[in-house]
Amino acid sequence: MTRPLCAVLFALLLLTTLSAGAAEPWFGRVLVTNDDGIDDPRLHALARAFAEVAEVVVVAPTKNCSGSTNYISVFRERELAVESYDMGAGVTAWAVDGFPGDCVLLALEAIMKDSPPDLLVGGVNSGPNLSDAWIASGTIGVARLAAHAGLPAVAFSSLKPDDPTMMAAVPAWCVELASLPVVRDLPEGGYLTVNFPRCSAADVAGVVWTYPGDRIFHDTFEPGVTGDDGRIRYKLKWWMDRDGDQPAGSDVERYRAGWVTVMPMSIRRIAAQHRRPACLAPLGGASGNIARAGTEVPALALCRSMVLEARFLQPDHFVHVEMRQAQDPRRSTAAPARIATAVSISSSLVKRPVERRRVPAATS
């Protein structure tokens, strides 16, 4: 079977798996970015594919920024160096001396502010972003930032530029996926992350809607040389599990079996159900109102208590404590009592964050 024919069959296989026919694009303006840098051929291929059906603006970092998550350096640096970049007809491109997160923020708040994009696509990343890779991936990080801004987003990962069949089929398929209602109608805070298997186009099994598998990425530090300044240089080493048991139907298991994995994600990670920590009981009974008469809670003690009681939480859960100054009428105005006014326990996938209730200041 010839390579061009493989590419055609692969594209047809994936498209028919997702829909009965090619969907008309619902978007007219697309923001394209990545974390591998603006010179990456996969970014160019993705941008050109979307330029066939929509207005495309590329805003990407000048250098490889893999593993930068949704970090935004301009919050610290206060400025970004930007220059135009020639990516061919139909594509407006800008190279940013910053991180992928900077690119998204700059695009939404400056470059595309007057004509906002309808969609963000990130990638196509060089390696896979499976399981819990969202915690470090810059490719997924840009999708998370877009979702936070209320913009539908898809992060595409795992494509080898030295495979012409995949390089020819994947970008066009990305356009077809983005054109479907499943992307257009993503819920608030939702985005998709897609991984293409490392196999030839002829060997792709199909497309599967899936969920995160068990952790496969690991890292460690090894001490290196001690510099003239007396500081030890620790070197990071990371690796990915290539085999081992995985939950049936998970993104890792399906990816290893040659499937294109499509996984719905959300920036809303708030626990819908949890057991109330026992440490709240002495702070105000069932209501948890600790600002009642005669109550003064040292901030450090409260935080320590919350940490100790957090043992009941499930993985990915965390405890958030808000503090504010409240005037205690028993004290002088120069020495206000510091009390905690809100406690929330956060994690997993609901659409709205926990409402933080205002608690009145202590009264005598």
The tens digit of pLDDT for each residue in 246-259 reads 889 898 999 999 99
The per-residue pLDDT for 135 is 86
CA distance 99 to 106: 11
CA distance 72 to 172: 30
CA distance 222 to 354: 41
Say whether the peptide bond before residue 208 is cis (omega within 30 degrees of 0). Answer: no
- Mean pLDDT computed over every residue of the chain: 76
Say whether the peptide bond before residue 59 is cis (omega within 30 degrees of 0). Answer: no
Chain-centre distance for alpha carbon 178: 17
Angle made by CA atoms 76, 80, 85, in degrees to the nearest 5: 150
Every domain of the chain with CATH number 3.40.1210.10 lies at 3-266
CA distance 283 to 289: 7
Whether pLDDT at 17 is above 80: no
The per-residue pLDDT for 281 is 52
Whether pLDDT at 82 is above 90: yes
Instruction: Specify whether domain 3-266 bears CATH 3.10.180.10.
Output: no
Whether pLDDT at 153 is above 80: yes
pTM to 2 decimal places? 0.70
For tokens 């024919």, the residue is 5
The per-residue pLDDT for 275 is 52
pLDDT band at residue 270, thresholds of 50, 70 and 90? low
CB 100 within 8 A of CB 133: no
User: For 106-110, 156-160, 257-261, 287-291, which range has the lowest pLDDT when averaged over its residues?
Assistant: 287-291
Whether pLDDT at 349 is above 80: no
**Range 6-27 average pLDDT:** 56
**Range 233-250 average pLDDT:** 83
Q: Tally Cβ neighbours within 10 Å of residue 28.
A: 12
